[in-house]
Amino acid sequence: MRIGELAAATGCHFETIRYYERVGLLPKPLRTESGYRSYRSDDIARVRFIGRGRALGFTLEEIRNLQQLSESVDTTCAEVDERVRCHLQGVRRKLLELQEMEAELMAMLSGCAGGDRSNCHVLRSFAGGGPESLSR
């Protein structure tokens, strides 16, 4: 199949597929005599695997490691679980950070009384508070 067909089958943009090839997440496809890329049916599963990993917030390197684990006959489920548990811990840390940011932004907005820019509580909060104010 050609790149457009692979893109349609996976919902992945053809430029993204080319990028995955360049970074080694997707093997270089064979070329037809006219130079078109020729993909195999198992490339659909590989692109979907990558896409699912990206949707879950895994980095390309983490996806590469998961691909390697999925292709190794010696891989145990515990090894895969450990990678996903580590990623989950990172997601939970990010959630806490986002909740802290939300609280900070809500506090800024709650102090807003309207009026003109010179009395803007939100702008004063930005001017007086740096990134350290988020880690309170």
Domains of the chain: residue spans and CATH? 1-58 (1.10.1660.10)
State residue 129's pLDDT score: 58
State residue 114's pLDDT score: 77
In order of 9, 40, 120, the CA distances from 24 in angstroms are 20, 16, 51
Between residues 36 and 48, which one has the greater pLDDT? Answer: 48
pTM across the whole model:
0.77
- Summarised one tens digit per residue, pLDDT across range 75-114 is 999 999 999 999 999 999 999 999 999 998 998 888 777 7
- How far apart, in Å, do the first and last CA atoms of the chain sit? 55
- Spatial separation of the C-alpha atoms in residues 41 and 13, rounded to whole Å: 17
